[in-house]
Amino acid sequence: MIKVVLDTNIIISSIFWKGAPYDVVKKGLLGEYQLVTSPEILDEIVSKLRNKFSFPEENIQKLVDTVLRFSTVIEPVSKIDVVRDKDDNKVIECAVDGNVNYIVTGDPDLLELKEFEKILIVNSRTFLEKIKK
């Protein structure tokens, strides 16, 4: 089965807007591929929803519970420093240690890498096109 790390921006986009990020998250929750995440990515999602979007606490908890229920959570041990924005390295670390096939992101710093250790780094639209084939 295909394994995928979803960057924070994909999860947050799926909450507020329909479109490709929403479809990526929905298909993952439906089990069309295995979602992989880390405590660091979950913490970032919670922080952004709370501080940037003033999302209600009870909804944040429901989201976290859903992600935990439908994802494999790993504790990355790798320390990787390949992204200009050092905060994005946690996504690469999760992907490497989770042995995933794809990172789906809207982050230009991650997208410019295109690939890291055979992990394809794509936006949500490209990912949906690739899994159709």
- Per-residue pLDDT, 41: 97
Structure confidence by residue, pLDDT tens digits, 106-119: 999 999 999 999 99
Structure confidence by residue, pLDDT tens digits, 50-75: 999 999 999 999 999 999 999 999 99
> What share of the chain has pLDDT > 90, as a percent?
93
Paired tokens of 52:
């940037």
Q: What is the domain partition of the chain in residue ranges?
A: 3-132
Q: What CATH number was assigned to the domain covering residues 3-132?
A: 3.40.50.11490
- Per-residue pLDDT, 58: 96
- Per-residue pLDDT, 133: 75
65-72: long-range pairs with CB below 8 Å, 24+: 66/29, 67/11, 67/35, 67/37, 67/42, 68/42, 70/28, 70/29, 70/31, 70/35, 71/28, 71/34, 71/35, 71/36, 71/37, 72/3, 72/34, 72/35, 72/36, 72/37, 72/98
